[in-house]
């Protein structure tokens, strides 16, 4: 199910750029380094270097764009602590994982209109995030899988080169509580590039 949704969104992003509007549309790829916060940090306090995202942006004005982006952030940790969940208390070697797949619509405003200059921007992303939290302990597996409403304010800088634009961005993800799952939060530094 998750792979099907990702493939559909990825195909939509790639198919939305046409040669006639290439100067106004960008397809981007980014690597993400994430710092867990809140309940996510309580579960896995370790910084993750396992993040990736793809985005499409359409510049409808010289200083503004809208678009779509899909990411995948993975957190993991092994632990020897005692696990308490509902009526269950177990002590032993644990492997903890969080897989987060945020799917956002985005809107950005740029503080520089010259597309060949460094362009600081602020953006707001809103949509949904599929989050899986899993704990493996011997033959026991506890997991939660939920769709969360999510939002992510962002601050970044576009760094133009000849045939593509690099960018560095800081994005705060907040996936609101869903079902029995707590809200999940992480701060992601994204380093990427987009094609003109």
Task: Please count the other Cβ atoms lying within 10 Å of the Cβ belonging to residue 155.
Answer: 13
- Return the pLDDT at 15: 46
Angle (CA) 125 68 128, round 5°: 55
Q: What is the mean pLDDT of residues 30-45?
A: 95
Query: For residue 170, what pLDDT band results from cuts at 50, 70 and 90?
Result: very high
State the Cα–Cα distance between residues 156 and 167, nearest whole angstrom: 7
CA distance 73 to 152: 14
The total number of residues written for the chain in this structure: 196
pTM for the model: 0.82
Query: How confident is the model over 16-36, as pLDDT tens digits?
Result: 444 334 468 889 999 999 999
pLDDT top residue among 187 and 178: 187
Identify whether the C-beta of residue 29 lies closer than 8 Å to the C-beta of residue 53: yes
The owner of tokens 């987009």 is: 194
Whether residue 14 has pLDDT greater than 50: no
């Amino acid at each position: 199910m998750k792979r099907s949704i990702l493939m559909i969104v990825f195909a939509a992003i790639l198919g939305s750029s046409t040669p006639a509007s290439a100067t106004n549309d960008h397809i981007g790829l980014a690597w993400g380094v994430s710092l867990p916060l809140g309940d996510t940090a309580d579960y896995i306090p370790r910084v993750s270097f396992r993040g990736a995202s793809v985005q499409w942006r359409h510049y409808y004005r010289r200083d503004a764009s809208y678009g779509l982006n899909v990411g995948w952030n993975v957190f993991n940790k092994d632990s020897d602590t005692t696990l308490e969940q509902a009526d269950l208390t177990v002590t032993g070697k644990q492997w903890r994982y969080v897989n987060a797949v945020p799917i956002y619509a985005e809107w950005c405003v740029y503080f520089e209109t010259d597309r060949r200059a460094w362009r600081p921007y602020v953006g707001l992303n809103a949509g949904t995030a599929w989050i899986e939290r899993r704990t493996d302990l011997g033959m026991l597996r506890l997991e939660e899988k939920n769709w969360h409403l999510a939002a992510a304010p962002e601050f970044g800088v576009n760094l133009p080169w000849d045939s593509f634009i690099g960018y560095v961005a800081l994005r705060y993800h907040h996936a609101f509580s869903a079902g029995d799952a707590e809200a999940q939060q992480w701060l992601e530094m994204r380093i990427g590039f987009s094609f003109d």
